[in-house]
């Protein structure tokens, strides 16, 4: 059980959203496990918190956090990059700006339907949003203050409080909402998430495709790509 808990804590540490959070959470992690796993903690602190500490999620924004991009994935290239059109051999189309993939649209629309209470703060050129995570429907100013000032004093508190509020920043210019940023794990992996898209839907910056509305809340889109053909017996 302890080994599983240790791995779970390392996973939570990897999701640190800034260097400041990673440093503080690392200290709390060592304090929690030093007595139980002193030999491992000595190794872990030397190798992964001192010599090679660049493995947390926010080490460098807008760059891949894994080496998956180096792997050849023919299906993804066909589905996501060629727009399902046949192209000459050796020619591929790639996006040069943020996009919303097929799996994000349904989850974004489902999030909008939850009608969660969102706190917004207008700045000079952008708007900050604080969104309740998990099953929470609303958040208080005190909870936002805890998140911003890192008011957690043990590693278990870090796990409980560092991921219960998501912080989204959208440009004031509604036409540039795709350049929004979020501190959730999905955003760090894909540079886009359901919270950015969901807020854009709520603010009428964009409209979800019809296919996104056909999936019941709590379910995910099937892996099969949506059909291009219309259903039979419909007026063409």
State the DSSP string of 178-222: GG-EE-SHHHHHHS--HHHHHHHHHTTS----GGGGGSPTT----
Does 197 lie in the same domain as 105?
yes
Does 210 lie in the same domain as 140?
yes
Does 205 lie in the same domain as 109?
yes
- Domain membership of residue 234 (yes or no) is no
Most distant CA pair in the chain, distance: 71
- Domain membership of residue 233 (yes or no) is no
- Domain membership of residue 172 (yes or no) is yes
Does 172 lie in the same domain as 102?
yes
Does 119 lie in the same domain as 45?
no
Model confidence over 7-38: pLDDT tens digits?
999 999 999 999 999 999 999 999 999 999 99
Model confidence over 144-155: pLDDT tens digits?
999 999 999 999
Residue range of the domain that includes 35: 2-51
Instruction: Please give the model's pTM, rounded to 2 decimal places.
Output: 0.77
Q: Tell me: pLDDT of 84 over 90.
A: no
Does 103 lie in the same domain as 36?
no
Q: What SS3 state is found at 121?
A: strand
Does 206 lie in the same domain as 120?
yes
- Domain membership of residue 118 (yes or no) is yes
Does 133 lie in the same domain as 202?
yes
Q: What SS3 state is found at 113?
A: helix
Model confidence over 179-224: pLDDT tens digits?
999 999 999 888 999 999 999 999 999 999 988 877 665 566 555 5
State the DSSP string of 39-94: HHHHHHHHIIIIIS-TTSTTSSTTS-SSSGGGS--HHHIIIIISTT----TT----
First-to-final CA distance of the chain: 60
Q: Tell me: pLDDT of 121 over 90.
A: yes
How many domains does the chain divide into?
Answer: 2
Nearest residue to 177 via CA among 193, 163, 190:
193
Does 39 lie in the same domain as 104?
no
* DSSP-derived secondary structure letter, 173: S
Residue whose token pair is 């509604």: 174
Does 200 lie in the same domain as 141?
yes
Q: Are 29 and 13 in contact (CB under 8 A)?
A: yes
Does 106 lie in the same domain as 43?
no
Last residue of some domain: 12, 34, 51? 51
């Amino acid at each position: 059980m302890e080994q599983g808990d240790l791995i779970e804590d390392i996973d939570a540490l990897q999701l640190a959203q800034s260097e400041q959070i990673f440093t503080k959470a690392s200290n709390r992690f060592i304090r929690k496990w030093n007595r139980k796993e002193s030999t491992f903690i000595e190794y872990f602190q030397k190798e992964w918190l001192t010599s090679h500490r660049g493995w947390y999620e926010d080490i460098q924004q807008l760059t891949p956090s894994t080496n998956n991009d180096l792997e050849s994935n023919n299906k993804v290239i066909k589905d996501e990059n060629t727009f399902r059109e046949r192209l000459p051999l050796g020619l591929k189309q790639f996006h040069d700006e943020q996009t919303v993939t097929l799996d994000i649209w349904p989850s974004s629309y489902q999030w909008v339907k939850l009608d969660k209470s969102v706190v917004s703060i207008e700045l000079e050129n952008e708007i900050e949003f604080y969104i309740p995570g998990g099953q929470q429907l609303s958040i208080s100013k005190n909870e936002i203050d805890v998140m911003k000032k890192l008011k957690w004093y043990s590693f278990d508190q870090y796990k409980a409080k560092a991921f219960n509020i998501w912080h989204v920043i959208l440009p004031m210019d509604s036409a540039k909402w795709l350049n929004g940023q979020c501190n959730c794990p999905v955003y760090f992996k894909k540079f886009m998430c359901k919270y950015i898209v969901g807020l854009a839907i709520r603010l009428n910056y964009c409209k979800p495709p019809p296919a996104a509305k056909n999936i019941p809340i709590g379910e995910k889109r099937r892996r099969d790509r949506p059909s291009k053909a219309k259903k039979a017996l419909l007026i063409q």
